[in-house]
């Protein structure tokens, strides 16, 4: 299966277990790996034969910036189901949501929830 990979889309959202996270917000990164047939789009150089990654970016932006979840796992699940419901050319996808600066008194680069979903 062909893949379209959209890396490190950056958004500002209000997600987290702690009230302060949902009040103040923070930066999140989203990576998508979409599985779909890209052959016709490549042969015909035709956007209508693929998915528009600018539209997908705006779809994800709407979710991350307008909704609020306690867990990045729930945010990733919402992104996955919305993309599959909206873009019927996508057969399966992998979503990774990264919280680069979790509010812990330990030092690490960030935490990522990654999941893969497909049409049943």
Mean per-residue pLDDT pooled into runs of 10, the chain (120 residues) = 97 94 94 98 98 98 98 98 97 97 77 94
Give pLDDT, residue 106. Answer: 72
Give pLDDT, residue 10. Answer: 98
Give pLDDT, residue 81. Answer: 98
Residues classed as catalytic: 99
- What's 63's domain CATH number? 3.30.1130.10
- The HSE-up count of residue 13 (CA atoms within 13 Å, CB side) is 29
- Alpha helices, H only, 9-117: 19-24, 39-44, 53-66, 72-86
Q: How many domains is the chain partitioned into structurally?
A: 1
Give pLDDT, residue 120. Answer: 75
Give pLDDT, residue 3. Answer: 98
Neighbouring-strand partners of residue 4? 34
Residue 38's domain comprises 3-118
Give pLDDT, residue 54. Answer: 97
Give pLDDT, residue 94. Answer: 98
Give pLDDT, residue 73. Answer: 98
């Amino acid at each position: 299966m062909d893949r379209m990979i959209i890396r490190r889309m950056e958004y500002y959202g209000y997600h987290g277990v702690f009230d302060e996270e949902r009040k103040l917000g923070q930066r999140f990164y989203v990576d998508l790996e979409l599985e779909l047939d890209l052959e016709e789009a490549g042969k015909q150089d035709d956007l209508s034969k693929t998915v528009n990654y600018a539209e997908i970016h705006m779809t994800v932006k709407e979710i991350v910036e307008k909704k609020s979840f306690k867990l990045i796992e729930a945010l990733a699940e919402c992104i996955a189901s919305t993309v599959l419901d909206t873009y019927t050319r996508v057969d399966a996808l992998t979503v990774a949501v990264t919280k680069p600066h979790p509010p812990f008194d330990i030092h690490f680069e960030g935490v990522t929830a990654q999941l893969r979903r497909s049409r049943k």
